[in-house]
Amino acid sequence: MVLTVKLGARSYPITFERGVLGRIGEHVNLDRKVMIVTDDGVPAQYAQQLLAQCPQGFVHTVHMGEGAKSFPVFEALCTALLEHGFTRRDLVIGLGGGVVGDLSGFAAASFMRGIDFVGIPTTTLSQIDSSVGGKMAINLAGVKNIIGAFHQPRAVFIDGDVLKTLPPRHFSNGLAEAVKMGFIADPEIIRLFEADDWRSHLDEIIYRAIAAKARVVEIDETEQNERKSLNFGHTIGHGIESAGQLSDLYHGECVGLGMLYFFGDEALRARCERILDKLGLPTHTEVDKDAVYAALTHDKKGDGTAVSVVKVDEVGGYRLEKMRYDDIRALL
Ligand SMILES: NC(=O)c1ccc[n+]([C@@H]2O[C@H](COP(=O)([O-])OP(=O)(O)OC[C@H]3O[C@@H](n4cnc5c(N)ncnc54)[C@H](O)[C@@H]3O)[C@@H](O)[C@H]2O)c1
Ligand SMILES: [Zn+2]
């Protein structure tokens, strides 16, 4: 199955196919220099499978974790591109989770002012959230994603088979973003999660979540308005994520918790809670409320007294609302 993200000259296909990792050469020209970027937590056989398809391929493996989204690691990757004589005709492939995608995508965006990039996301989070949008970034001085670019990939490949090796907590973590897409844009996703055999619908859930995000990004590529809906669950979620660094909650887990504050009625909130619970995602946290509040008021969004939040009153729809920080405090 192929979904085209329609962005004029920057349009690109997302191919959904189990086992496609072994057939990338049928879709993309690999007969040029190819830098396969991955991390040491991604099973090495995936990079080897890809390398076998590249007559002039190189594998660049970084150490796993958010620390890879940094200037030293970025510099080492760009240096490797330079030393291997990459030109604007050549290709960078990001093979890994969101960390690898962001780092390698930003290197592709920057090297020689932009060379081809192909994404092969291998976590639920990166498949659902990072494969659409073209946002590539690294961190600086403890601030996440502060140095980056919009750089649309030439193609993205979603291979459900690679998720088999993903640790269960990471597997559930990314699905929180699919729950989010369901509540703001696609009731069918919620229905599938509520089914007893939801796992057998995983491919469809991921496809629908990506398709829903693509529709939003097509309308609003650079985040002027429509794209703000994607922040559902993220206002308080980011606060919990920053405040909870010691408790070590993952991003999707925080987004799940963050959504629970912004439902128009109790029945919907309870539905969301049941889904999160079923996915093994937390529905409450011990993180200190004052610390969450302090963290979210430090967030770069908003004008100091109020922030725009996303609310859901019915499944598949949302509204944006200006909310005073005082009122958010009361919510907590
Ligand atoms: N660009 C965007 O639009 C966007 C969107 C959302 C998140 N992000 C970024 O994504 C990052 C988080 O991504 P993530 O949750 O994928 O984390 P991650 O990239 O750190 O991957 C999680 C862990 O899983 C391992 N792994 C990856 N694929 C695997 C597989 N198939 N089998 C076994 N292990 C595997 C990795 O080595 C890593 O240890 C954050 O830095 C976030 O800012 C970017
Ligand atoms: Zn998110």
- Model confidence pLDDT, tens digit, residues 96-145: 999 999 999 999 999 999 999 999 999 999 999 998 989 999 999 988 89
Structure confidence at residue 177 (pLDDT): 98
Which residue puts its alpha carbon closest to atom 16 of ligand 1?
Answer: 97
Instruction: Read off the pLDDT of each residue in 282-295 and give the average, rounded to a whole number.
Output: 89
pLDDT band for position 303 (cuts 50, 70, 90):
low
For the record, the structure tokens of 93 come out as 């492939």
- Residues 149, 103: Cα–Cα separation, whole Å: 11
- Residues 234, 241: Cα–Cα separation, whole Å: 9
Asked if residue 36 lies in contact with residue 50, where contact means CB atoms within 8 angstroms, the answer is: yes
Residues whose CB falls within 8 Å of the CB of residue 28, separated by 6 or more in sequence, listed in order = 91, 118, 154, 155
Asked if residue 94 lies in contact with residue 105, where contact means CB atoms within 8 angstroms, the answer is: yes
Quick: pLDDT tens for 4-38.
Answer: 999 999 999 999 999 999 999 999 999 999 999 99
Lining ligand 1 with CB less than 6 A are 39, 41-43, 64, 66, 69, 96-100, 102, 122-123, 125-126, 129-130, 133, 135, 144-145, 162, 165-166, 170
Asked if residue 179 lies in contact with residue 256, where contact means CB atoms within 8 angstroms, the answer is: yes
Instruction: Read off the pLDDT of each residue in 58-72 and give the average, rounded to a whole number.
Output: 97
- Residues 40, 262: Cα–Cα separation, whole Å: 38
99 CA → ligand 1 middle, Å: 5
**Is residue 90 within a helix (H) or strand (E), and if so which, with residue range?**
none
pTM of the model: 0.95
Index of the ligand 1 atom closest to the CA of residue 163: 31
Residue 298, SS3 per DSSP: coil
Q: Is the pLDDT of residue 221 over 90?
A: no
Picking from 186-195, 248-257, 320-329, which range would have the lowest pLDDT averaged per residue?
A: 320-329
Residue 139, SS3 per DSSP: strand
Burial bucket for residue 8 (CB in 10 Å: 0-12, 13-18, 19+): exposed
The most confident of the ranges 154-163, 217-226, 233-242 is 154-163
- Residues 77, 45: Cα–Cα separation, whole Å: 21
- Residues 182, 253: Cα–Cα separation, whole Å: 16
Ligand 1 binding pocket mutation candidate from 99, 180, 232, 249 (most atoms within 8 A of CB): 99
Q: Which ligand is nearest to the CA of 178?
A: 2
- Residues 57, 60: Cα–Cα separation, whole Å: 10
Domains of the chain are 2-165 (3.40.50.1970), 168-331 (1.20.1090.10)
305 CA → ligand 1 middle, Å: 33
29 CA → ligand 2 middle, Å: 32
Residue 139 C-alpha from the chain's centroid: 15
What does each C-alpha distance from 54 to 121, 208, 245 come to in angstroms?
A: 18, 31, 40
What does each C-alpha distance from 317 to 183, 187, 255, 259, 308 come to in angstroms?
A: 7, 9, 18, 14, 16
Index of the ligand 1 atom closest to the CA of residue 137: 1
Query: Angle at which helices 71-83 and 98-110 pack, to 10 degrees?
Result: 60
Residue 200, SS3 per DSSP: helix
113: nearest Cα among 73, 81, 158: 81
48 CA → ligand 2 middle, Å: 30
Structure confidence at residue 256 (pLDDT): 98
